[in-house]
Structure 1
Amino acid sequence: MQLEHRMELRDEPWQELQVVQGVAANAHREMSEHTRLGRACARIADLQLQSNSQGAVAYRESRREGNRMAKGSRANGPSGPGYRGPTPAENHRRRRRHRRDGVGAEVGRDFGHAAPGYVQHRAACPRRRGGGQAQWPTGAAVPYRRGGAAHNARLDGVESLHWRTCTGAGSQRANARPNPNPFCGPCVFCGFPGSGSDYTAPTMVAPATSRPPPRTDESVPLVRDTPLVPFTIPWQIRPPAHNLVVAVKGTFDLVPGQPATLSEDQPPPFGDQRYDGEEKASLRYASDFVVHKPKADVMLVGHAYPADNPTVAAVGLQVGRLQRTLAVFGDRSWGTLGAQSKPTSFDRMPLRWERAMGGPLSEANPVGRGFKTGVMLPNLERREALVSSPRDVPPPACFGPMAPEWKSRTGRLGTFQSRWLKERWPFFPEDFDFSFFNAAPPEQQVPYLRGDEPYALHGVRPAKGVLSGSLPGLQPRVFAYLDRAGAFSEAALHLDTVWFDADEAKVVLVWRGMMVVQDDEASDVSVLFLTTTKVGEALSPQQAQQRFEVASGPGEPADSLPVLPIEPPETPLAPPVSRAQVLSWIQTKTPLAGKDLTGVDLSAADLRGADFSGCVLPGARLEGARLEGANLSGAVLSRVRATGACFDACDLSGADLADAILVNATFRKARMAEANLWRADASGGVFADVQAPGGVFAKAILARCSFERAQIPKGDFTECVLGETRWNGAKLDDARFYGAKGDRCTFDGASLKSARMDRAVLPNADFRSALAEESVWEGADLQRSSLHGARLSRANFKRAILDHCVLSTAEAKGTFFRKASLRGASLLKANLMQANFEGADLSDADLRGANLYQVETWRAKTHGAKLDLALVAGSKLAK
């Protein structure tokens, strides 16, 4: 079984980006270029790319730490007089429990990270009967429609799959209606779209003989027996129905005359990659994070090599029935009478859009040459449409991917107007054309491929070299165990991306499919299983079940698959300047850097140190304004207003302030590094001595605020709000607070080292002398809180709550508290040496002199607890 890059994300699209190493603060203002959705899709992919390697390292380290804890937990198992060690049955239960609850996978699961041809619609359809059983009996013939003709699909399991427009036994094709999307038609029972490609009946896997364990968090668990890299993306194709895109990426070595072979190195999914890392350069690799491609993309990058004549070359791409050839010339220019100069000789010519017909004024290729840009001719041309005079403007010719902001793609984005905002935001508008996600030139978009087609790449190797062979002939198979059906079913995948790198002699293949799920966390999917077969090879239900049981057998915990959201399109920006032309450009020291100042007004202005650097200021006004040290660096300030304003020593570095307002504002010694404040409001405001490196504050509000001595290293605070807030000594190290919420907060000595506080809520908090070492707090809540002496060493608290809390002079050494709760709590002189508490609860706790040395206490509870002067040596509370 393979280890995955664990890339945990949250359920709000904007919030997801903010979790990625603090770089998301820039995404909002960058999306104002070109069409917003195109930029949004490109940007999320770039963010994924930036964090992939960091996430992988962090994950490996956390797994090592987690496995250490798992081993420690078992080694310290039940002890005390007469204990003869666990029975085989106990060992089996423990292995399953560790695998299910992730002792070893969950300890460090918050790292950097990581939107389809046919669409598979599974038995989420309301034509079902009680107990999660399908209406139709096993083996029954169920009619479905394809291109207007009725066909039968046989059910080999206990749930039905809908393809395109489906019907129930004997039912009429109701609700059939024209569909502007590239899908054939909606399901008459639930409105889910069909595919538009040839149907391949997916295999239904019989009920599992051993049901996968229930999920314990929002990550979709994954088991795989192949090195191929899977990933998922939650989306709503037809809101409000929830869908889960399942994709599999594979990298293969090209072997002359042979099928491509699996590469030793299997890179994770990437976002758009541009040449030389330049933002305005053409794409070298198009994003993997795509919802649906109605056709397959076939793309080629690398260099062209001349054969006999060093001034010209021919490059050919052939995959299956696709054949395309381009003419390649050395550099040429137009003479004074419209004659072409002779092409110069070249050793090799890059196959990229900068060498094709185009230029800054060209909508088809804004990075090219030869289109109203002077005397240079393109190096790459279509053999059937060569340039012969300065008036010739043939379509650009290249084999590589087209950028998402180019007109050829943005023209398919649909209509983003008030109706979209009201009815479908943040998802695609009704007239969105999914061919937006096809990045290959139109000539290279073909029907979905099998995966064993022959290929030939001509002119891409030195010395008349031809690179030929066949695709690997491999077919990934993904099976999902659905709670509602009590069985595995297959999410059929289609090969929709083939990307050749001729220089490296590699090919990347991406298969993609989709299923209907219950919600945006796919909480009805217990586990996904990825395996492979040869193209066309059958895989019986029994074989799939056997493979799953072998891959998920005793050993390491099942890995978790990231659920990747797509960033929502930004709403349209407000209209332009005034308020006496921004107080006569702040009394004529003009510049005002990036200007635009959209909704201005500047209310009680003055704006002290002004400048506004990156400007734009969408919703502006800034009510009580002044802005003391001003500058506002990355600016934009989205939907501002700023009620009490001031922003004290200002700068706001990465700025944006998303949905702002900021009620009683100020921000004392501000700066706020990568800022943003997502859904802001900032109620009581102030933020005392901020600085805010990672910034963001996700769904903010922050109630009565302050943050005292702030700093906020990797910030975010995810779902925020927080009651009386404050946070006294603050700093908050690797912060986040995921579920956050509020009541009386404070955090006294704060810092919170590796923080997170997962599902938080924090009722009467305080955390006294905090610091919280390697924190997390999984299920959190912290009822009557305090944590007195805090620190909490290796922390975690798994399913926390901690009822009447306090934890007196804590420290908590090995911590974890597994299923926690701690009812009467207090734990007086704590420390709790190697802690854990397995089934925990500790009912009326207190634990007086505490420490409890090697604790753990198996399925705990320990009714009236207390334990006076405690310690209780090797424990099981030393019975």
Structure 2
Amino acid sequence: MVLPWTVRSARWPVAITSLGRASTATLVWGLRGQRYVTAVVKATFGLVAEGAMALGEPDPIVPGEVPDPSGVGLRSAGDLAPYLGEVDVLLTGHAEVPPTVAGEIQVRLAVVQEGALRLDRCVTLDGSAPGSEGQRRVRVDGTGPLSRRWPRREALLGAVDPRRLEGVALEVPDGLDWGYFQAAPPEQRMERLLGDEWVVLGGIVAQRPRLRTQLPGARGVARLYRREERAPREGAALSLRADTLLIDADRRCCSVVWRGYAAVGDEDLEALRVVAGVELPGEALPWVDPFAQEAREAGRTAPLPAAPSRATLPLPTQAAPVVTNVEVHPLEGTVEPLSAHVRRPATPFEARPELPPAALPASRARPGEPAIEDHPLAGTVDPLSTPAGRPTTPFEARPELPPAISAPLPSPTPTPLPSPAPAAPSGPIAAAPPLLPPELSAEPPGLGDAFLSAMTEAGAFP
């Protein structure tokens, strides 16, 4: 397979090239006179029960908010943000209601990380609502993205004009609460995402009420190239961090977004290039100088190097089939027994990246927050005020945000932002086709009682 090199200089402020099966984008933002470039990398995986997810063709980068077809809430919050301090975990789509159920149903979203239950969210839905074409499917409310116009997000702006924080050329005001860019409800945020977590979906798939699947250990990678460097250019590695996990229940897939930024000083944006992609364990990507590649393409010379061989998932128009054999406990099989040696692929997420050089307030809440009933979105689902069916986790309360940063990061001589970069396309984004995972296995290999004993001993069960 030949790597698809597509430079989209007309779309993004810094031209970016995608390596392999990844969607990529860049945005430019300024803070305290310093200019930064953020690289965004997105990959999409098919859900595989009791095993690692399979890498498929990537969903496109979504530049802005996309309303849900139902007219309530959002289908997507968009992928463009300069920085996220926490990991957003989002679930969209519908739950399949068994024919024997006529009342309320509960759906569950859980994430197990390094043997511990890091996120556990339950919501109650009206199972009596009729579905289309004779199918009983209920929209999952309360676990999807929150709009930037939602009162609790909007309140974080203070007096800042929200138009300054839209598009691909932003000017971030000093003192902005970076929580404004978080689209997930607070109870659906994690400190970090390692890349090998187990995801548990309860009450979503009728034939498999407890669907467990594992992230495959993928990681986003990117390099920043400057034209002024001597060829062959190696580029400067950008430290990318996974900060969004979006699960699409209807298409049986999930997308992971990685993000990283770098100060660029007073360079001309036309003299910069970013190359980015997604690596799986044991499959390193080949890097090529993008400026040299552009010169070769202009001269119609040799083709690109081949990527490692790996099959691409087919893209049918309907959800994947499931098996009917269901395990006893929803988290059984999500970790190995304590006596087993667990190998986790190296990831770039071991240490939290340094926060952007803006002062963060000590508290998310702000006085004078507008009342929800007076907001134009009143009447839609409010997951922040609706009591959950059970606690978010059986552990202690989530830690507070890091203390305020009073000084900017060391950087080149500050310069004002140049003329605005090209804006993101205003047209609608074509919906990505659904993914079909491989055949689903019925039983996890060799865990069962040993796993339950280990999890109980670790205190993961109430």
TM-score by length of 2: 0.53
The change in CA–CA distance for 1:244 and 1:403 in structure 2 (over 3 A counts) is same
1:442 matched to 2:233? The reply is: no
1:2 matched to 2:40? The reply is: no
Equivalent residue, structure 1, for 2:433: none
Give the paired residue count. 280
Deviation of residue 523 (structure 1)? Answer: 4.7
Preserved contact between residue 415 and residue 429 of structure 1 (Cα < 8 Å): no
Give matches, 1:473-484, under 5 Å.
473-482=217-226
The change in CA–CA distance for 1:492 and 1:441 in structure 2 (over 3 A counts) is same
Deviation of residue 245 (structure 1)? Answer: 0.7
Deviation of residue 427 (structure 1)? Answer: 2.0
1:319 matched to 2:111? The reply is: yes
Equivalent residue, structure 2, for 1:514: 261
Q: Within 2, Cα distance between the matches of 1:437 and 1:231?
A: 17
Percent of residue pairs identical:
26
Deviation of residue 442 (structure 1)? Answer: 0.7
Residue among 470, 493, 504 paired with 2:251: 504
Residue among 4, 25, 28 paired with 1:234: 28
Q: Within 2, Cα distance between the matches of 1:223 and 1:524?
A: 14
Give matches, 1:634-713, under 5 Å.
none
Q: Within 1, Cα distance between the matches of 2:144 and 2:21?
A: 27
1:456 matched to 2:200? The reply is: yes
Equivalent residue, structure 2, for 1:271: 64
Where does structure 1 lack aligned partners over 5 or more consecutive residues? 9-112, 115-218, 333-345, 353-397, 560-697, 700-717, 719-879
Equivalent residue, structure 2, for 1:328: 125
State the AA in 1 paired with 2:138: M
Equivalent residue, structure 2, for 1:413: 157
Deviation of residue 416 (structure 1)? Answer: 3.4
The change in CA–CA distance for 1:400 and 1:224 in structure 2 (over 3 A counts) is closer
Deviation of residue 330 (structure 1)? Answer: 4.1
Residue among 92, 96, 121 paired with 1:305: 96
Preserved contact between residue 300 and residue 499 of structure 1 (Cα < 8 Å): yes
Q: Please give the secondary structure, in 1, of the residue aligned with 2:153.
A: helix
Q: Within 1, Cα distance between the matches of 2:46 and 2:107?
A: 20
Residue among 46, 50, 62 paired with 1:253: 46
Q: Within 2, Cα distance between the matches of 1:291 and 1:348?
A: 36
Give matches, 1:471-550, under 5 Å.
471-482=215-226, 487-519=234-266, 521-523=268-270, 525=272, 527-534=273-280, 547-548=287-288
The change in CA–CA distance for 1:251 and 1:232 in structure 2 (over 3 A counts) is same
Q: Please give the secondary structure, in 2, of the residue aligned with 1:410.
A: helix
Higher Rg: 1
Deviation of residue 328 (structure 1)? Answer: 2.4
Preserved contact between residue 243 and residue 520 of structure 1 (Cα < 8 Å): no
Preserved contact between residue 41 and residue 277 of structure 2 (Cα < 8 Å): no
Q: Within 2, Cα distance between the matches of 1:444 and 1:239?
A: 31
Deviation of residue 347 (structure 1)? Answer: 2.9
Deviation of residue 484 (structure 1)? Answer: 6.5
Preserved contact between residue 301 and residue 400 of structure 1 (Cα < 8 Å): yes
State the AA in 2 paired with 1:429: P
Deviation of residue 555 (structure 1)? Answer: 5.9
1:857-877 Cα deviation digits (max 9, x unpaired): xxxxxxxxxxxxxxxxxxxxx
Preserved contact between residue 412 and residue 433 of structure 1 (Cα < 8 Å): yes
Preserved contact between residue 304 and residue 314 of structure 1 (Cα < 8 Å): no
Preserved contact between residue 304 and residue 313 of structure 1 (Cα < 8 Å): no
Deviation of residue 465 (structure 1)? Answer: 3.0
Deviation of residue 553 (structure 1)? Answer: 9.4
Q: Within 2, Cα distance between the matches of 1:232 and 1:260?
A: 27
Deviation of residue 4 (structure 1)? Answer: 3.2
Where does structure 2 lack aligned partners over 5 or more consecutive residues? 113-117, 130-134, 305-418, 423-462
Preserved contact between residue 225 and residue 235 of structure 2 (Cα < 8 Å): yes
Deviation of residue 531 (structure 1)? Answer: 4.1
Equivalent residue, structure 1, for 2:342: none
Q: Within 2, Cα distance between the matches of 1:508 and 1:428?
A: 27
1:239-265 Cα deviation digits (max 9, x unpaired): 211100111011221122222222235
Aligned-residue RMSD, C-alpha: 3.6
Deviation of residue 458 (structure 1)? Answer: 0.8
1:558-591 Cα deviation digits (max 9, x unpaired): 99xxxxxxxxxxxxxxxxxxxxxxxxxxxxxxxx
Q: Within 2, Cα distance between the matches of 1:441 and 1:323?
A: 13
Residue among 276, 287, 299 paired with 2:78: 287
Q: Within 2, Cα distance between the matches of 1:324 and 1:443?
A: 8
The change in CA–CA distance for 1:265 and 1:240 in structure 2 (over 3 A counts) is closer
Deviation of residue 433 (structure 1)? Answer: 0.8
TM-score by length of 1: 0.29
Deviation of residue 449 (structure 1)? Answer: 0.5
Preserved contact between residue 249 and residue 269 of structure 1 (Cα < 8 Å): no
Equivalent residue, structure 1, for 2:413: none
Give matches, 1:700-849, under 5 Å.
none
Q: Please give the secondary structure, in 2, of the residue aligned with 1:411.
A: helix
The change in CA–CA distance for 1:331 and 1:234 in structure 2 (over 3 A counts) is same
Deviation of residue 504 (structure 1)? Answer: 0.7
The change in CA–CA distance for 1:433 and 1:520 in structure 2 (over 3 A counts) is farther
Equivalent residue, structure 1, for 2:383: none
Q: Within 2, Cα distance between the matches of 1:502 and 1:466?
A: 13
Equivalent residue, structure 2, for 1:403: 147
1:296 matched to 2:87? The reply is: yes
Deviation of residue 524 (structure 1)? Answer: 5.2
Equivalent residue, structure 1, for 2:19: 225
Preserved contact between residue 242 and residue 520 of structure 1 (Cα < 8 Å): no
Residue among 433, 437, 440 paired with 2:177: 433
Equivalent residue, structure 2, for 1:349: 138
Q: Within 2, Cα distance between the matches of 1:426 and 1:530?
A: 22
The change in CA–CA distance for 1:302 and 1:222 in structure 2 (over 3 A counts) is closer
Q: Which has the higher contact order (CA 8 A, sep 6+)?
A: 2
State the AA in 2 paired with 1:317: L
